[in-house]
Structure 1
Amino acid sequence: MSSKNHLTKIGSVVEEVLKADFHNVKILRVDVREDVDADGDDVLLISVVFEGRPKDLDAKMLSGAVRNVRPRLTDIGERAFPMFSFVSGRDVGLGHA
């Protein structure tokens, strides 16, 4: 298990990379949890909360999120595979996002 500080750092790295890729969408929050998949491999469950509607997200950017984020995670010593979910702020009660 990683420390809370390491999970916070992972969230910051994810947010930094995605902000550079998602030009028309404001990222409100990135939540990171550790888990283990069905094969026993370590994974990171990363929930990205954004302002706007799901149709505002570019499908190409969504599909490239893992490819763009993973090398940066490796740079900070994280080996778990990132699994993303993207949720509108409105869906998690963050106002009129």
Structure 2
Amino acid sequence: MRAGDLHRPEQNTASGALVDGSGSPHTRQYRRAPTRGRQIAGRFVVIPAAPFSHATAADQETWRALIGTLESLLRLHEHAPGTLSAMSDYLFHRTAA
């Protein structure tokens, strides 16, 4: 692998991941500075979660409340409050819960 190989975006990857000569995807962050990658990874915790249910009215209200909470936390430019909450059924089906 040549030094320049890691920095060329691979044209045929959906995510535009950086690929070395062997075809293995890498990010610059982890390849250039392993310590930095560990620091960033240390800031996050994986929380195992199952998909939400939408079978009962209570399930739908729980989902709607989640969307409302997320919407209140987002800072969206010129966003009308309640827009995402009104689309909660669509978002449920679009995201597979």
- Asked if TM exceeds 0.5, the reply is no
TM-score normalised over the length of structure 1: 0.27
TM-score normalised over the length of structure 2: 0.27
Which structure has more strand as a fraction of its residues?
Answer: 1
Which entry has the higher C-alpha Rg, 1 or 2? 2
